[in-house]
């Protein structure tokens, strides 16, 4: 465990934490205190810190206007060829998604069609390469690129590629007696041929179903999308764990690898992922039963209200308390059910209790659990660090939903 001097935030208000993150992100950008490998990353690099700056300046404090300046600075340093790859997580696909998002929601005024014209062709080529390898990952494969491309679905080349995406996914799927399996998640310690299903937004079925729902709504490969969605939802629903209302537990496993059926409450895997896929697909295909199933899952999760029962260790968006709060807020706004608001409030306060900054000026972010290898480290990025935590905290004190969570497919 790190021995750095820490600043305990137990007496900090939400606004104080948000201001601290804002100023910390400014220092981070000024000193370029990030890994050059992630210089073009939305989820693990400076573009996630920039994402937070825009929302802080619009919704919390607009007296200082630094976001546009840093957008220009970061954009001017983009390389003709990505430092890492084209992925949504680590490469320029995330950057161009953010540019479109900021333009669409009127944070900035740019000619987004001109700006994206060359990149779209490159993104399609990269996604094609992923499809040839059956890499459908949201963060690191074709799905993340297609998530970006959906905004340009009226373009002929984009439409053709999205149709190919659906067809290739159908080819990679497998019909079973419980529904259609999508064994596209590859465990690192096993050969490529042994892909498994994972009920995941980050890496598997749930993000794929949401993307297919968006394609269906846009009248792209409608029959294929409907078939995949309908049969894959049956597969997910038929893989529930036994219900034991008296014992807080996961309804769905995160990964169907034959190991532990447990999954934590998180954005990346598990019950929330299944609920969100059901909710969105129910909306896109006008299937009210799926939306009711989504609410059933979310209501069942309410009694997992401690760190231990929810599997929560830190505050991050990906697998921490800030992400849990974001899900309950999503369903509160959608349904106005008081229990969802109470849960969002609970996990918002839980997040505030977990916020821990370093007092050393060269160490940025909030302390988070980075796994057995790294253990506790200070993280400032969107996925695992203070930039994402800040967006969740910021949303809780607004009168209505904010669109930043489109990045995570919540909206």
Mean pLDDT by 10 residues, the chain (411 residues): 42 93 98 95 98 99 96 91 84 98 98 94 96 97 99 98 99 98 80 80 98 99 99 98 91 89 93 99 99 98 97 96 99 98 98 95 87 78 98 98 99 96
The Cα-based distances of 315 to 235, 244, 263, 304 in angstroms read 31, 28, 17, 16
Angle between helices 205-217 and 271-284 (to 10 degrees): 10
CA distance 278 to 101: 24
CA distance 57 to 65: 7
Rg from Cα positions in the chain: 20
- pLDDT tens digits along 126-160: 999 999 999 999 999 999 999 999 999 999 999 99
- Can you name the residues that pair with 379 across neighbouring β-strands? 366
Q: Would you tell me how many other CB atoms lie within 10 Å of the CB of residue 218?
A: 16
CA distance 27 to 31: 6
Tokens of 160: 């053709």
Residue 318, annotated as binding a ligand? yes
Report how far Cα 52 is from the mean position of its chain's Cα atoms: 15
3 class by beta-carbon count within 10 Å (0-12 exposed, 13-18 middle, 19+ buried) = exposed
Q: Which runs of consecutive H residues, i.e. helices, occur in 60-151? A: 67-76, 92-104, 112-132, 142-149
Residue 319, annotated as binding a ligand? yes
The Cα-based distances of 367 to 5, 21, 302, 349, 354 in angstroms read 12, 12, 26, 16, 8
- What is the SS3 assignment for 145? helix
Indicate the CATH number for domain 14-408. Answer: 1.50.10.20
Q: Would you tell me how many other CB atoms lie within 10 Å of the CB of residue 121?
A: 13
CA distance 354 to 8: 9
Q: What's residue 2's pLDDT? A: 37
Q: What's residue 407's pLDDT? A: 99
Helix (H) or strand (E) holding 191: none
236 class by beta-carbon count within 10 Å (0-12 exposed, 13-18 middle, 19+ buried) = buried
- Which residue from 15, 21, 11 is spatially nearest to 357, judged by alpha carbons? 21
Instruction: Please state the length of the chain.
Output: 411
Residue 281, annotated as binding a ligand? no
């Amino acid at each position: 465990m790190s021995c750095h001097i820490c600043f305990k935030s137990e007496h900090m208000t939400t606004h104080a934490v948000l201001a601290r993150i804002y100023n910390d992100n400014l220092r981070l950008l000024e000193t370029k205190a990030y890994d050059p490998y992630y210089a073009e990353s939305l989820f693990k690099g400076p573009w996630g810190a920039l994402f937070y700056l825009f929302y802080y300046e619009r919704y919390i404090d607009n007296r200082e206007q630094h976001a546009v300046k840093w957008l220009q600075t970061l954009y001017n340093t983009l390389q003709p060829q990505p430092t890492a790859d084209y992925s949504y997580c680590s490469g320029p696909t995330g950057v161009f998604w953010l540019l479109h998002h900021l333009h669409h929601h009127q944070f900035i005024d740019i000619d987004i069609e001109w700006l994206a014209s060359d990149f779209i062709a490159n993104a399609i080529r990269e996604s094609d390469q992923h499809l040839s390898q059956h890499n459908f990952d949201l963060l690191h494969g074709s799905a993340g690129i297609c998530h970006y491309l959906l905004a340009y679905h009226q373009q002929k080349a984009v439409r053709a590629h999205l149709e190919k995406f659906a067809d290739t996914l159908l080819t990679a799927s497998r019909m079973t007696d419980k529904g259609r399996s999508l064994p596209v998640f590859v465990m690192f310690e096993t050969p490529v041929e042994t892909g498994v299903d994972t009920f995941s937004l980050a890496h598997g079925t749930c993000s794929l179903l949401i993307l297919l729902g968006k394609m269906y709504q846009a009248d792209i490969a409608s029959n294929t999308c409907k078939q995949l969605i309908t049969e894959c939802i049956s597969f997910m629903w038929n893989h529930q764990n036994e219900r034991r209302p008296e014992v807080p537990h996961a309804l769905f496993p995160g990964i169907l690898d034959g190991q532990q059926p447990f999954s934590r409450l998180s954005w990346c895997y598990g019950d929330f992922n299944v609920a969100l896929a059901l909710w969105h697909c129910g909306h896109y295909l006008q299937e009210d039963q799926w939306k009711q199933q989504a609410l059933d899952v979310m209501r069942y999760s309410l009694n997992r209200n401690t760190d231990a029962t929810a599997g929560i260790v830190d505050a991050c968006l990906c697998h921490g308390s800030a992400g849990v709060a974001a899900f309950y807020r999503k369903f509160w706004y959608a349904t106005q059910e008081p229990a969802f608001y109470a849960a969002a409030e609970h996990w918002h306060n839980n997040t505030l209790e977990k916020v821990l900054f370093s007092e050393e000026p060269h160490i940025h972010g909030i302390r988070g659990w980075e796994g057995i290898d790294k253990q506790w480290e200070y993280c400032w990025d969107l996925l695992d660090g203070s930039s994402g935590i800040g967006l969740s905290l910021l949303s809780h004190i607004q009168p209505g939903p904010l669109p930043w969570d489109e990045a995570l497919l919540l909206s």
